[in-house]
Structure 1
Amino acid sequence: MSPRSASVNEELRRRSRDRLLQATVELVAEHGYDATKLADIADRAGTARGLVSYYFPSKRQLFQSAVHRLMHRTLEAALEREPRTDHGPELLARAIDAILGLAVDSPVLMRAHMAGILQAEGFVQCPEQQRLAQLLRETVVRYGSPDVDSDYPLLRALLMGAVFAVLIPGAPMPRRRLRGELFTRYGLAWELGVPPGG
């Protein structure tokens, strides 16, 4: 039997890594971050425990990569959904709605993610985080920003603040109010994106 080609090996590695990321999101959503063990993730992904450490140096980095992957896939789906558009304000509205939607729909995941970012490690620089950043930056460009290098970090900060406000235990801000503030800030019509309640 001939050895596998480099491209086949690369595809197998990508699939193994993707299975670990998906298993992490599922298990943390079901059981919380602290109760999710690396061995459980490996079992759910159908991979050897040693592969987890091969791809990710720590549980925190695995988890952040998994959530960044969920975020960039959710954002990408929102930006590319039908009807497809190049209308900058519509794309920005979709981006805002996608990120706020994750906070509302996946609070366990997003709380654990925000807590991890606020720890010493901060953002994990991984391909998933870089893809998320690329999508948000491209959205700012398509919105028509005259100063992308300033406006992109500001949008990122405003979205992180809004997510945090949605997730505060015992005193969450309503998604509708936060959406309204962000839409006003960027001059977006309420009917753009996916307005709450229809």
Structure 2
Amino acid sequence: MSPRSAETNRELREQSRRRILDAALELFAERGYGGASVAQIADRAGVARGLVSYYFPAKERLLEELLTEAMFGIFGLVAPAPEETTADERLAGLIDRVLLTASRTVPLQRLVLCLMLQPATRGVYVRVEASHAAELTAFEDAIRSIFTERGAPDPALEEVLLRSVLEGVVFKLAVYPDTYPLEAVRRRVYAIYDLSPAGPLLPDEPDRPADRLRS
């Protein structure tokens, strides 16, 4: 049998690393960060405990990696599609990408919200955020450039307000996924920014009326 190539070995290592991260994400979601052990993560991933420690010397490193992935996923949402050439089109596209991603990743959104806020993990989130300050600034500036092009007198304030609105939507959607009127809220956000109406974000999902949010 011929020896494996360096590329094959690299792919196998990446697959093992990915299994470990996915297992950690599942267990943190199920049991909380404090309730999930490295041994349980290894068992869920189907690897030896030593392999987990090889890639991630401490459980906190797993958390850092997951938070980094989530953060860069958010950064990527600001990149416009090729057809988004005007500021209005870029703003509408950003709104839709945020809402669509949130609707498809409710368990992940719940976990990230918890990890950002819990006393045991808040410090790790702050550290990860600080270590990617340049990327975060570029993300903020990309949104601010949209509002600059739209003629807003204070693009920085508009960026903060838009993110507050969208993050509030994501939070409520994570808590009330079965009763949240996502399409109606999306239309209202469009109206706030005087954007042209668009087709449904999720054509196969019911267009729920705004009612009382209940679990």
TM-score by length of structure 2 reads 0.62
- Counterpart for residue 203 of structure 2: 197
Percent identity of paired positions between Structure 1 and Structure 2: 18
User: Structure 2 matches for 1:137-176, cutoff 5 A?
Assistant: 137-144=141-148, 145-169=152-176, 172-176=179-183
For residues 170 and 155 of structure 1, do their structure 2 counterparts lie closer, same or farther at Cα, with a shift above 3 Å needed? closer
- Counterpart for residue 181 of structure 1: 188
For residues 69 and 129 of structure 1, do their structure 2 counterparts lie closer, same or farther at Cα, with a shift above 3 Å needed? farther
* Paired residues, number: 177
* Structure 1 position 82 matched with structure 2 position 82: yes
* Structure 1 position 124 matched with structure 2 position 113: no
Return the offset for 1:136.
Answer: 4.4
1:101-155 deviations in whole A, cap 9, x for unaligned?
1211011111111122232317434356763553343123123333122222211
Q: Which letter maps to 2:106? A: P
For residues 50 and 29 of structure 1, do their structure 2 counterparts lie closer, same or farther at Cα, with a shift above 3 Å needed? closer
- Counterpart for residue 210 of structure 2: none
1:29-61 deviations in whole A, cap 9, x for unaligned?
65662456556479689965243247x845443
- Counterpart for residue 106 of structure 1: 105
1:57-78 deviations in whole A, cap 9, x for unaligned?
45443332221123333x15xx
Output the CA distance in 2 between the equivalents of 1:45 and 1:124: 30
TM-score by length of structure 1 reads 0.67
Q: Is the 8 A contact 2:106 2:177 kept in 1?
A: no
Q: Say what the alpha-carbon RMSD is for the aligned residues.
A: 3.9
Q: Is the 8 A contact 1:104 1:166 kept in 2?
A: yes
Q: Is the 8 A contact 2:110 2:174 kept in 1?
A: yes
2:197 alignment partner, SS class = coil
Q: Which runs of 4+ in 1 moved over 4 A?
A: 19-23, 28-32, 35-39, 41-48, 127-130
Return the offset for 1:82.
Answer: 3.2
Q: Is the 8 A contact 1:100 1:163 kept in 2?
A: yes
Output the CA distance in 2 between the equivalents of 1:118 and 1:175: 24
* Bigger relative contact order, structure 1 or 2 (CA pairs below 8 A, ≥6 apart): 1
Output the CA distance in 1 between the equivalents of 2:179 and 2:134: 29
Q: Is the 8 A contact 1:22 1:66 kept in 2?
A: no
Q: Is the 8 A contact 2:70 2:112 kept in 1?
A: yes
* Structure 1 position 33 matched with structure 2 position 29: yes
Output the CA distance in 2 between the equivalents of 1:173 and 1:71: 21
Output the CA distance in 2 between the equivalents of 1:51 and 1:197: 42
In structure 1, the gaps of 5 or more residues are: 1-11
For residues 189 and 45 of structure 1, do their structure 2 counterparts lie closer, same or farther at Cα, with a shift above 3 Å needed? farther
Structure possessing the higher radius of gyration over alpha carbons? 2
For residues 184 and 53 of structure 1, do their structure 2 counterparts lie closer, same or farther at Cα, with a shift above 3 Å needed? farther
For residues 117 and 48 of structure 1, do their structure 2 counterparts lie closer, same or farther at Cα, with a shift above 3 Å needed? closer
